[in-house]
Chains A and B, each alone.
Chain A
Amino acid sequence: MGLLSDPNRRKALTNLLTRLNTPICIVCYLAAIMWFMGLAFEPFTLRTYMSENAMGSTMVEERFPSGERALSTAKEFDAHKRKAGGMPVEWLVKTMQARGLEVFTQSFSRTLPFPDENKERYMVRGTNVYGILRAPRAPRTEALVISAPCSPGNSNNQAVGLLLTLAQYFRSQVYWAKDIIFLVNEHDLIGMQAWLEGYHHTNITGMEYSPLQGRAGSIQAALSLELSSDVITSLDLVLEGLNGQLPNLDLANLFYAFCQKLGVLCTIQGKLQRNDWDTAEGYTHAAQTMMLMVLKQASGRAWGDHGLFLRYHIEAASIQGINSFRHYKTDVTTIGRLLEGMIRKLNNLLERLHQSYFFYLLPSLSRFVSIGYYMPAFGLLAVILLLRALDLWVHLGSPALAEVDGDSEVEQSSSPGVLSVLTPVVISHLTGVALYLLPVQLQEMAVEHFPVSETEAVVLTAVAIYTAGLALPHNAQWLLSGEGTEQGWRVLKLTSLLYLAVLLGCTALVNFSLGFILAVTLVPIAACITPHMPRALSALAVVLLSPGFVILYCVFIYQELIEAPVSISEGWMLFLSVISQGILDHVLYGSLVYPLLALFIYPCWLMFWNILFWK
């Protein structure tokens, strides 16, 4: 600190930083991108390893024998599901009871704020059925959950069949130390949310549900199972949960270890692992897998039923069976054994999973990037904001120092400066609040006046407010009596830079992917925006890098990465549905991405937009 206490050296240092500011920023930005892309390069990543001793070396022998019975149970379930035209509650209760479980049901109902067109539901009413296998000589303090969603149509019957058969097999074993809850939830995530809220007796989303009758203590881990075909070629592990939360890496390691042991093909993000990391294809493959994970995590959605468990500090993952018509096939017995092995190892746990990482990215199932490796990529971007802020601070300070004796112009310019800064900040945030509140509030009015459905009304209102927001701060300038000064926009920019840095920093700590994606797009705007640029061109660039467009790009990139490219118009429709899903996720499950974007990121971007049109 002696370096900075000495005014001369300090001056030299600040001079250096202001003089070299732009080159340093450019280097930082490029380095950040390079660093991030390098994360997928195998020699730079670590091999996954089991950290938890209780799951590592303990011997587990899998003996689950009755895959055939699982399939026949699945058929029976299917028949009853068709007959009942939904979840066959009575049949499930009876079947679980016959398998020696304590069976309970929970009914729930939820009216969505507007119809969900993807899943075609508006007023949801359903029942969850769960059976508890009580562990012998255990005091009901710990539990594991295996769940299978009861989806409409033909899908996921096999998962329920396997679940019931596993329950029967597990019931006759003696080694259980934790109670096991077998849960069949209706209406996928909504049912799961109702069950979890019921289990923990909370109500954070306004769900209506009947209280649970049976409990089994604190849940230690959960697995969600999705199988839709009798024969499975590979199993896919889904980890991304609500708000980008991830389960402990040991859960992924456990899955991988058992896939290796039983010779099951396993994928993550639907991508098989490749061994040729030194070729361009190998690298691209790993980079694509990682990018998919980043995009999914950034979306803040629960990508499977497991995603909702994470809020309650329960480590959970979804296992999805995929039938991609490869040669290599796995029968249900093997999948049953895999689950048996995983559950038995989780049963051996003495503590909650806590040994391994909670913050990581996976370029493949056997390689991971820990928080220590990926954070520098974000840090380099955040540094740009701070450097620019420092630069502005110095520029704001030095003329003031020069004119400190004599005229009172500085004092005059600084006091309207505060007002001229405060006004755009407040107006931007009010626009953000409007963007957050109005789409859902105004849907009825919109439906009355325009020939659109409710969902379209909500999304189009959101888009309209977003677009209208572009004009608002610009026009607000006219309302202000005082003229915007050179000093004014600098103060505003300084504020916005620091605000953005804090916002992105907090976001990246919780959800790295979201923070990084926003930083990559917003930092260039934030760094180089001034009112003196060519207006039209820079306005176009700023709009194209706005949060809304970022979502659009992400939709296209995501479609490209899952090898289902879409045309522009399809992409636009997808974009609209993503927005409606984002709003629904927020209202139904408490996802925070929509409020973050509407209340903070968008206003912050509007502040930069305001600077561009500073008069």
Chain B
Amino acid sequence: MAAPRCVLFLLYISLFSVLEYRSSCEKLSDNTGEEQSASDALREVKSDVSGNNEDDRQWQSTDVEMDKSVEAKDSESARPAPKDQFQEELIIRPLHSGDIYASFQFRTLWDTDFLQQGNKVSHYRLFPKSLGQVLSKFSVRELHISFTQGFWRTMQWGQPFIPSPPGAELWVWFDDTVADVDENWKELTNVLSGIFCASLNFIDTTNTVQPSASFKPLGLGNATDHRFLRYATLPREIVCTENLTPWKKLLPCGSKAGLAVLMKSEKLFHSSFHSQAVHIRPACQDGQCARPAWELRQTLNVVFDLYTSGQGKKEWSLFKMFSRTLTEACPLASSSKVYVDITDNPEGELFELSPATPVLSQAVVLGDRRTYSVYDLTKADTFGQLRSLNLLLRWKGDNGDMLRPLLHAERYVAGFGLQTGEIHTLVYNNHPFRAFPVLLLESVPWYLRLYIHTLKVTSKSRENKPSYIHYQPSKDRQRPHLLEMLIQLPPHSVTEVTVQFERALLKWTEYPPDPNHGFYVGSSVISALVPSMVAMDTNLTQEHPLFSSFFPVKEESNYFMRVYTEPLLVNLPTPDFSMPYNVICLTCTVVAVGYGSFYNLLTRTFQVDEPSLPLAKRLANLVRRIRGVPLLT
């Protein structure tokens, strides 16, 4: 009996230590248990390299120094010194298809007690004032906004760190003290539209929904009343430089120093995929979560195309990607690092990375254990003798086949003609033996009239009854359809959700200037807890001691994932707005008039009407009738 107890004890210890690590890193994301973003889950692991320990120590010491300096600056203020923090990161991941994925993450922590009511904050340090004012004015609890140009190709690129649908997406949790959420939402979208130079002002009641389950708050607090949630997408929004510039201005260093110098718009928009986002949520200032803080996380994801910019040579460098190299960290940043994913490249057979770095880091990202080379920009020796860091990546291998991601989805419109159609949503579960549930959210504009009785969910050619359905029918010109379903995906299967619709005929003033382009239907959103690859792998004996690997590690066994399908472009019946349309109107009128009179002619019998007699004659007739004399005519 002693031996198993001992093992269990050890297991507890290891579990506990792991939890400690995670909570020190980010407690709040575990609170809600909904989402882990990639960098949050980063976990420094002491590797065998001797220099690594030193590096860790160095890193910690810089943190402490930073804190000290911050404290020193604010020592004169009466309140406990606010500890605003700024971190920047760039993750470069060579993708399976040969393309390259660069993901910037900037995190600003604003140490302010937002829970107190009426506490007007007027002092801003690192946090952008424009956003801070918006937060307090509209009582925003959480705000997530993303602008994306392009579609993330899951089959070739794997999973993104932070997924986002094509176009603009905005979802906001309001504070539960807000009286009129709709009014706040309307004003907020207009203000944000100004801040980000985007057409967010097109968000109105016809494209706003209140999802009941798909979007949970990611920060502190567990608000679940979805009356305070608003979600809207603008699939048609085009993202360009004018959206990037205001986004860059929110950074403490702007684009003057640090990683942000790499953001040259002519390079960022010369790519296969571009997505920029702002996430604001309440977070903990420290491990005990004694003091809440606002977290502003700005992310920018770009995928560069191997073919169009490589000119045949399979070679990447920071300079080639961004036409800039790195020379310094942002002076305000407490940490500034560049990570390069080298998981698939342990022996250097796939690509060659230079300059090489001895610092390695391991993390479980999206259920997969990844290894990264880390370049710390706060240290001078990272930049070498040239005083600039230009990472170089030389491909050796061939680009591979398509991936089979555990969860992916696609959507299309079936049928032809302009009267009806059918929306098909295919959700793939490629896990060999695990079934898992997903939450599917579809928000369809009112002008596609869904026939909800035709809703069918089938997997493996058998009906798959959703365990939860939340459906809100649309109202013409007022609100869209909202359909949320909890579906269990059988292992290794395709689940097909189909629903038929009828295309509405709009009023002629409701058509946009380009009606023949078609009308967009936003991406459907699939949220799921996906069984992790790490947990799937039962053969970990090479790396871990036997006693630690019998039970799958709980916190790694599932990870949260959100998948967006492609938006749809649907043609509605469109009148011809040019000259012939007028002609049709005219001829229709003429035909209607002509038909009326012809019908009249055909159905009536005509008789020659006898003219009525004048009064004098009628009187005379009256007299004659009495007299019995023949009447006058």
Contacts and interface: CB of A to CB of B under 8 A. Distances in A.
B308 A136 contact: yes
A278 interface: no
A469 B130 CA distance: 85
Contacts of A354: 516, 574, 576
B272 A136 contact: yes
Interface in A245-268: none
Contacts of B402: 102
A215 B413 CA distance: 10
Interface in B584-613: 597-598, 600-601, 606, 608
Contacts of B267: none
Given A1-B597, A1-B601, A172-B307, A218 B518 contact: yes
Interface string A130-156: 000010111111100000000000000
Most buried by B among A136, A217, A354: A136
A201 B412 contact: yes
A72 interface: no
A292 to B, nearest CB: 28
A137 B416 contact: no
B516 A215 contact: no
A441 interface: no
Contacts of A412: none
A215 B415 CA distance: 14
A4 interface: yes
B422 A201 contact: yes
A97 B398 CA distance: 11
Contacts of A82: none
Given A100-B307, A350-B514, A351-B517, A137 B149 contact: yes
Nearest to B402: A102
A73 B267 CA distance: 34
A5 interface: yes
Contacts of A171: 307-308
B151 interface: yes
A173 interface: yes
Nearest to B167: A139
A479 interface: no
A351 B514 contact: yes
B150 interface: yes
Contact of A202 (B149, B416, B568, B597): B416
B271 interface: yes
B96 to A, nearest CB: 13
Given A139-B235, A215-B410, A4 B576 contact: no
A178 to B, nearest CB: 10
A217 B566 contact: yes
Contacts of A136: 150, 271-273, 305, 308
A171 B308 CA distance: 7
Contacts of B600: 1
A448 B291 CA distance: 93
A134 B306 CA distance: 13
B153 interface: yes
B517 A134 contact: no
A312 interface: yes
Contact of A217 (B167, B516, B568, B608): B568
Contacts of A5: 601, 606
Interface in B139-163: 149-151, 153, 155-156
B413 A173 contact: no
B252 interface: no
A139 B166 contact: yes
Given A100-B307, A201-B424, A350-B514, A137 B271 contact: yes
A139 B567 contact: yes
Contacts of B410: 215
A599 B237 CA distance: 51
Contacts of B416: 200, 202, 311-313
Contacts of A4: 597, 601
A139 B150 contact: yes
A174 interface: yes
A80 interface: no
Contacts of B305: 136
A215 B412 contact: yes
Nearest to B410: A215
A345 interface: no
B578 interface: yes
A313 B516 CA distance: 12
Contacts of A69: none
Given A313-B571, A354-B516, A137 B269 contact: yes
Contacts of B569: 141-142, 217-218
Looking at chain A's contact residues, is the secondary structure mostly helix, strand, loop, or mixed?
Answer: loop
A201 B601 contact: no
A140 B417 CA distance: 21
Interface string A206-247: 000000000101100000000000000000000000000000
Please tell me the size bucket of the interface on B: 35 or more
B414 interface: yes
Contact of A218 (B269, B571, B574, B597): B571
B270 interface: yes
A172 B520 CA distance: 29
Interface string B338-368: 0000000000000000000000000000000
B274 interface: yes
Nearest to A139: B166
Contacts of B598: 1
Interface string B404-433: 000000101111111000101000000000
B414 A202 contact: yes
A173 B576 CA distance: 35
Interface string A465-498: 0000000000000000000000000000000000
Nearest to A99: B307
Interface in A344-360: 350-352, 354-355
A172 B150 CA distance: 17
A218 B307 CA distance: 25
Contacts of B149: 137
A114 to B, nearest CB: 28
A202 B156 CA distance: 28
Contact of A201 (B415, B566, B576, B606): B415
A23 interface: no
Interface in A1-16: 1, 4-5, 7
A139 B274 CA distance: 11
A374 B156 CA distance: 53
A201 B500 CA distance: 13
A267 B269 CA distance: 42
Contact of A350 (B412, B422, B517): B517
Given A201-B415, A202-B414, A352-B571, A137 B155 contact: no
B461 to A, nearest CB: 12
Contacts of A137: 149-150, 269, 271-274
A136 B597 CA distance: 60
Most buried by B among A137, A200, A313, A355: A137
A218 B155 CA distance: 20
Nearest to B606: A7
Given A141-B566, A200-B416, A7 B235 contact: no
Nearest to A371: B580
A202 to B, nearest CB: 6
Interface in A182-206: 200-202
B156 A102 contact: yes
Nearest to A171: B307
Interface of B: 149-151, 153, 155-156, 166-167, 235, 269-274, 305-308, 401-402, 410, 412-418, 422, 424, 514-518, 520, 566-571, 574, 576, 578, 597-598, 600-601, 606, 608
13 contacts: A1-B597, A5-B606, A102-B402, A137-B149, A139-B235, A139-B566, A141-B518, A201-B424, A217-B566, A313-B418, A350-B517, A352-B517, A355-B578
Given A140-B567, A141-B569, A350-B517, 13 more contacts: A102-B153, A136-B150, A136-B271, A136-B272, A137-B150, A139-B566, A141-B566, A141-B567, A172-B307, A202-B416, A215-B410, A218-B569, A313-B416
